Amino acid sequence: MNFHDELSRHGADAAGESARRLGTAEVRAQLDARVRRGRRARTLGGAGVVASVALVAVGVWAVAPTPNDEQEPTGIHDIARAGPYSYEASADSRRGDPEVKLRGDAAVMCGDTVDLTSGVTVHDSEGFERSVRLGAELTTLGETTDATPPATPVPLDPNKPDGLTTGWDPLQPRWSVQLSGDVGSFELVTLLMDGQTVAGMAAGTSGSSNVTGRIWASGGAPIPRIGQCDDSLDALSAEPGDPMETLLVAQYWGASTSTNEDTTLLATIVIDPALPPNAGASLPVFKENNAFSEGSMNGPQDGVNPDLMKASQDIQDRFACGVPWNLEAGYYPRDGYAGPMPEYTGSLAPTAQNAEETTTVGEFGNPPVLDASAGDLAVRTSLVAFDDGFYDTFVLAWVQDGVIVGNQRVSMAAVQFVGDSDTTSLSTARGGDSSAPGIGWAPLSAPGACANGQGPDFPEDGDYQLHIVHEYGTADAFVDDKLVTTSNGAPGVDVDRVEFRSGDAYTQVVDPAGGPWTVHVIGLTTPVTLDDPAKLIAPDGDVHQAFVMERAVPGCSALADIRADGFPHNDAAQYQATLAGVTGSLTGQLWMGDTVATLAAGEDPWYLGRDAWLVADGVSPGKANPHVEWTSVDGSWVLAEGGRDPLEAAECAYLDPRISVSGAVFLVIDGVDPAYYNDPSTDFFALPEELQTWIYLGHTAPTS
């Protein structure tokens, strides 16, 4: 059988209907129009300014990220604004059958004719009770993300200067969306309408939860273009359709007491930008905030509570770097507030890391933990209980000489209801303990790290006080209703002792009880000296000591340079890796094409086929860290020097290889063992493709 022919047959069979659609007069007309528009845009050079009725219009290129000049110019589009809108199901909401479905066999698709009614339509009686809500505002991509397009876009691939770049267009239209409900799952799409016909559609976001409780989601929903039907990302990279012809549609599913099915469609909310705003003030726009990306919220799922976002931004501003610290320990209720105060049943003090093992959801009183293992500073606090309140916001503030010199918003999540109280803990979006939802680690910034780059320069060594500010209150989507601000030092808050490290800094906290905590920072401004390189352990058969570290930056001896700096360090993640078939002779011959490892036919470990390199303490002369590649030989796989080296910079030149090597020898493999990466005991602050695994092969054999 010829696989080429098989693919041809399969493609032709599958795409017959596509071919028919492509051949229609409608598609031809659209293509002609797009070509003309693109040519006009090229002629204008992207600098045109267009006026349109009732809209401010600015000519932009709409590509993200952008190629330098090979990409189709995507034309001129208007900056359309509409809203804000806010709809929430209530007892007065309309009840009816769904006019459209976003899931299932009858899910909407391009070409469908639909007649959608704006606002809330409840489909099951449970839908009246679940507080389903959708808020949205038509804005721009730049306003829905804190990412900033680079002033000078650079190619993603240095070898292709005319290829894809890091540039993108912040003026591209975008729905800013906030969505919530006590539901099991939700789906949000943007439909581009041609009258009552769906001309394009793009997925906004979706989510589900196995935990009973509220789901929040917030972010940007793309504007599809005509003919775009399922590639939501394409909305970032091409000329979108007219945003004023879109409809934002959200549907919510959950358990119904009448049907006892967890997949009951509860309600649909449709937002039409042609209607006047129905919310009084602009939405607190959620942004993908790089400065706090590690601390973004964990609700019952990956959604974001918009109230929390707004409150967090507010408290962040009030405790910004450079602002005098004047908050004594204690409670600060809002004027007129006579309700209950937060009741801290546990300690907010940091303590030893082994407390982690005793922390479980619902168990109050566990102290926070500063993590020394992940390479970054990280913090996990005790659980806090309080009787009421809808949102929490925590800020950690470093103070020196009465002035805030570092601040960090730390995310909180209400993770479980215990009796009449909410249970809240510091948590992170990543690295949470799957068996204890919401419990996880938040990275702790060092003094001098301020939100959005504000604040002082990197601080000198010295003493710093670490404060926690906690605010909680009730709020609806758009009305901040702060109740209580609490500074640490309040009753029940005490201080213990903590030590922690990071990859490039060493800090120590030795503190009296009673807080705030005094932190003696040592070594932050001194050059990095690694006095704690990893102790290397000789392989035991196929079992090797392995380290997981950040992927190297290309250079002429990228990996050897890292080794020369003293890595792998003891702070690196370590585990015992099984690496079969490694040669027992670690000499310069490996640099000359000798076999590094052999895999028998049928073996398929995670590292097979990945880019890999050899690294040794001493290499002379020749290429310090040669690339090795897998090749198949009679069904087995052989790893030996060769292949294209993605870590080799273009300008490199090497001496003729007459290689002798000395010292420790490592095999560095791109990526990380998925089993190790996904192990609940590991907590990586990087994606797998951003990591490399250093496998210690042993010391070189004595040179004769």
Partner 1 sequence: MAGTDEIIGELLDVAARRLAAYGYLLTGSQHAGEELVQAAIVKVFVRRRRIPNAQAAEGYVRAAMRSVHIDRMRREKVWRRIAPGQVAREDVPDHANRIATADALGNALSTLSPRQRTAVVLRYFDDLTVAGVAAEMQLADGTVKRYLSEALDRLAVVVGSEAFEIEYVAVVDRESRS
Report 295-314 residues binding partner 1 (CB under 8 A). 302, 304
For partner 1, the binding residue among 205, 347, 366, 507 (CB under 8 A) is 205
119-122 and 94-95 strand pairing: parallel
The 8-class DSSP code of residue 223 comes to: P
For partner 1, the binding residue among 202, 348, 483, 697 (CB under 8 A) is 202
Least Å distance, CB 629 to partner 1, is: 5
698 touches 539 (CB < 8 A): yes
Amino acid sitting at position 73: P
**Rule CB under 8 A: is residue 67 a binding residue for partner 1?**
yes
**Rule CB under 8 A: is residue 600 a binding residue for partner 1?**
no
Segment interacting with partner 1 (CB under 8 A) among 267-275, 499-507, 518-526, 635-643: 635-643
For partner 1, the binding residue among 593, 621, 674, 680 (CB under 8 A) is 593
**Rule CB under 8 A: is residue 11 a binding residue for partner 1?**
yes
For partner 1, the binding residue among 234, 272, 481, 561 (CB under 8 A) is 234
For partner 1, the binding residue among 477, 638, 659, 664 (CB under 8 A) is 638
**Rule CB under 8 A: is residue 603 a binding residue for partner 1?**
no
For partner 1, the binding residue among 99, 143, 194, 629 (CB under 8 A) is 629
Q: In whole angstroms, what is the distance from residue 558 CA to residue 694 CA? A: 13
Closer to partner 1 by CB, 12 or 275: give it.
12
For partner 1, the binding residue among 556, 610, 652, 660 (CB under 8 A) is 610
Closer to partner 1 by CB, 220 or 455: give it.
220
The two tokens of residue 41 are 């845009």
For partner 1, the binding residue among 13, 335, 457, 531 (CB under 8 A) is 13
Each residue 492-511 as x (binds partner 1 by CB under 8 A) or -, in order, gives --------------------
The CA R_g of the chain, rounded to the nearest whole Å, is 29
The residues in 519-548 that bind partner 1, with binding defined as CB under 8 A, are none
**Rule CB under 8 A: is residue 236 a binding residue for partner 1?**
yes
For partner 1, the binding residue among 46, 68, 71, 474 (CB under 8 A) is 71
For partner 1, the binding residue among 197, 454, 525, 631 (CB under 8 A) is 631
**Rule CB under 8 A: is residue 109 a binding residue for partner 1?**
yes
The two tokens of residue 27 are 């598609």
Q: In whole angstroms, what is the distance from residue 246 CA to residue 242 CA? A: 7
Q: In whole angstroms, what is the distance from residue 303 CA to residue 215 CA? A: 6
Residue 568: is the preceding peptide bond cis (ω within 30°)? Answer: yes
Least Å distance, CB 123 to partner 1, is: 19
The residues in 182-201 that bind partner 1, with binding defined as CB under 8 A, are 189, 201
**Rule CB under 8 A: is residue 703 a binding residue for partner 1?**
no
Least Å distance, CB 640 to partner 1, is: 7
Least Å distance, CB 14 to partner 1, is: 4
Q: In whole angstroms, what is the distance from residue 527 CA to residue 647 CA? A: 26
Closer to partner 1 by CB, 27 or 436: give it.
27
Closer to partner 1 by CB, 360 or 631: give it.
631
Q: In whole angstroms, what is the distance from residue 216 CA to residue 307 CA? A: 10
For partner 1, the binding residue among 328, 420, 604, 656 (CB under 8 A) is 604
The residues in 35-54 that bind partner 1, with binding defined as CB under 8 A, are 35, 38-39, 42
**Rule CB under 8 A: is residue 275 a binding residue for partner 1?**
no
3-state secondary structure string across 288-308: ECHHHHHHCCCCCCCCCCHHH
Segment interacting with partner 1 (CB under 8 A) among 97-105, 338-346, 437-445, 649-657: 97-105
348 touches 493 (CB < 8 A): yes
Instruction: Report the 10 Å Cβ neighbour count for 354.
Output: 8
For partner 1, the binding residue among 538, 600, 608, 675 (CB under 8 A) is 608
Closer to partner 1 by CB, 30 or 518: give it.
30
Closer to partner 1 by CB, 288 or 314: give it.
288
By residue count, the chain amounts to 704
157 touches 265 (CB < 8 A): no
Closer to partner 1 by CB, 301 or 485: give it.
301
- Residue 550's closest CA among 368, 694, 411? 694
Find all residues with CB under 8 Å of 325, minimum gap 6, and list them: 397, 399, 402, 403, 404, 465, 467
Q: In whole angstroms, what is the distance from residue 639 CA to residue 528 CA? A: 35
Closer to partner 1 by CB, 155 or 523: give it.
155
For partner 1, the binding residue among 127, 181, 184, 204 (CB under 8 A) is 204
**Rule CB under 8 A: is residue 404 a binding residue for partner 1?**
no
**Rule CB under 8 A: is residue 354 a binding residue for partner 1?**
no
Find all residues with CB under 8 Å of 354, minimum gap 6, and list them: none
Least Å distance, CB 217 to partner 1, is: 9
Residue 516: is the preceding peptide bond cis (ω within 30°)? Answer: yes
Residues facing residue 470 across a β-bridge:
394, 486
For partner 1, the binding residue among 68, 118, 166, 508 (CB under 8 A) is 166
Segment interacting with partner 1 (CB under 8 A) among 4-12, 267-275, 317-325, 375-383: 4-12
Least Å distance, CB 6 to partner 1, is: 6
Segment interacting with partner 1 (CB under 8 A) among 213-221, 324-332, 490-498, 503-511: 213-221
396 touches 466 (CB < 8 A): yes
Closer to partner 1 by CB, 344 or 630: give it.
630
The two tokens of residue 352 are 């030893």
Find all residues with CB under 8 Å of 478, minimum gap 6, and list them: 84, 86, 135, 279, 280, 281, 283, 284
Amino acid sitting at position 453: G
**Rule CB under 8 A: is residue 646 a binding residue for partner 1?**
yes
Closer to partner 1 by CB, 207 or 539: give it.
207
Closer to partner 1 by CB, 456 or 643: give it.
643
For partner 1, the binding residue among 456, 642, 688, 698 (CB under 8 A) is 642
Output the DSSP codes for 45-72.
TT-----BTTB--------SS-BSSSSP
**Rule CB under 8 A: is residue 268 a binding residue for partner 1?**
no
Residue 414 vs residues 215, 285, 314, 334: alpha-carbon distances, Å: 11, 21, 19, 22
**Rule CB under 8 A: is residue 94 a binding residue for partner 1?**
no
Across 30-184, the runs of DSSP E, i.e. the strands, are 82-88, 94-95, 119-122, 133-140, 173-181
The residues in 129-158 that bind partner 1, with binding defined as CB under 8 A, are 141, 144-147, 156-157
For partner 1, the binding residue among 99, 231, 314, 461 (CB under 8 A) is 231
Least Å distance, CB 290 to partner 1, is: 8
How many residues sit in the footprint of partner 1 (CB under 8 A)?
108
Determine the Cα angle at 648 with ends 644 and 652, to 5°. Answer: 120
Find all residues with CB under 8 Å of 443, minimum gap 6, and list them: 294, 295, 374, 376, 377, 378, 379, 428, 685
Closer to partner 1 by CB, 21 or 318: give it.
21
Q: In whole angstroms, what is the distance from residue 86 CA to residue 70 CA? A: 41
Q: Residue 309, exposed/middle/buried by CB under 10 A (0-12, 13-18, 19+)?
A: buried
